[in-house]
Amino acid sequence: MQPIRALGAMSGTSLDGVDAAEIWTDGVTIDGFGDNDYRPYSDAEQATIRTALGRWQGEPDVAEAAEIVETAHARLLARFDKAQVIGFHGQTLAHDPANRRTHQAGDGDLLAEVLGKPVVWDFRTADVRLGGEGAPLAPIFHHACARWMGATAPVAFLNLGGVGNLTWADPTRAPDEAGALLAFDTGPANAPINDLCMDWLGQPFDRDGELAREGAVHGDLVAQVMQHPYFFRMPPKSLDRDAFSGVVAEFDALPPSHAAATWVAVIAASVAHGLAQVPTRPDRLLVCGGGRHNPAIMAALSQALPCDVAPVEAVGLNGDMLEAQAFAYLAVRVLRGLPTSFPGTTGVAAQVGGGQVSGDRTALDSFVSGARQDPRRRVRHPR
């Protein structure tokens, strides 16, 4: 089968904005990478979305948050006129897999109508309903990235968004083979630091880690956080953005710089704890997501971990767009009826293909049936 031009969009729990990125893929291999773009949320938009965090469909402020998410996505995704299919994640407002529910704000039917393209969305619900964690969903794409890199040994990817999540991938095995993938959320990442900076300083994040680098780590508080029941669960497992809100008051009692430094130490300790649970230690941890731009976090990881730590750019990938690219990849897998989550990535009992398809997919029928597409020029990252 020939690859198609898929566009993915991601609005993460850091609440900074919407990433959009194209890839060429048949849903199995990565054939190339295309254009990408970013649309930040304004302070007012962020405030509205924050108000809806932890809430479910029909509850106060949810409709207003969903409208912001849909409008931001529509304006950004309309710039990609050549994309053949769109993978739309939406904005996670609440995540409760223990009760088999998850909530990503945003209507794929509406986006498909506005954009005039097929939209694949609601990726997590099927997995959660079947007993999976519903997250993380990027690991199957990470496995494809490991093969694109030409890796011949297990590779670990760490995404530092609002929450941290870790993927261990063995590219020598097929992704649906037992032991090929293990993935789980490691613990808090950017979310508590971003919230701290917004509440105390009126800024959305700790730029260049300046605040954290001024502070001192309170080791007793790090040890207290690491006693959270989450860390005693075996992976696969996943977190809600505000799962650690019970200790926020104790961080708020610290000077802001000390609180930021202590959260950085928590991030490093939780990743080290997670890395100790993978089948074999990787030689290198490849970091993507906004957290890799924070020198304080990267330095803490390098000090805490028993392997080399590097941004994914070191292997030719785009760490700002990897999650958006992942949902482009997942969209094509959904079109082909291929699984999007696995027992080793979400804890679901068997492989699950999630996602709904909205809009007219007539133009994609020949692709799905295996007919040859017209060749297109494809842009690759340097390896």
Run of H or E residues at 223: helix 219-225
Angle formed at CA 279 by CA 234 and CA 31, multiple of 5 degrees: 105
Residue 360 burial (C-beta neighbours within 10 Å; 0-12, 13-18, 19+): exposed
SS (H, E, C) 250-263: HHHCCCHHHHHHHH
Report the distance separating Cα 311 and Cα 319, nearest Å. Answer: 7
Run of H or E residues at 114: helix 108-115
Domain definitions of the chain by residue range? 4-131+353-368, 139-315
Cross-strand partners of 311: 287
- The pTM of this model reads 0.91
Residue among 348, 383, 380 nearest 33 (CA): 380
In this structure, which topology does domain 139-315 adopt according to CATH?
Nucleotidyltransferase; domain 5 (3.30.420)
pLDDT at 51: 96
Average pLDDT (64-75) is: 98
| Rg of the chain, C-alpha, whole Å | 20
4-131+353-368: CATH homologous superfamily? Answer: ATPase, nucleotide binding domain (3.30.420.40)
Report the distance separating Cα 69 and Cα 124, nearest Å. Answer: 17
- Quick check: do 4-131+353-368 and 139-315 share a fold? yes
Report the distance separating Cα 90 and Cα 118, nearest Å. Answer: 15
pLDDT tens track for 275-288: 999 999 998 999 99
Report the distance separating Cα 238 and Cα 243, nearest Å. Answer: 10
Report the distance separating Cα 40 and Cα 320, nearest Å. Answer: 13
pLDDT tens track for 1-22: 789 999 999 998 888 999 999 9
Residue among 27, 145, 167, 6 nearest 77 (CA): 6
User: Are the beta carbons of 168 and 278 closer than 8 angstroms?
Assistant: yes
The DSSP letter of residue 241 is T
Q: How many CB atoms lie within 10 A of CB 40?
A: 12
pLDDT tens track for 301-327: 999 999 999 999 999 999 999 999 999
What's the pLDDT band for 379 if we cut at 50, 70, 90?
very low
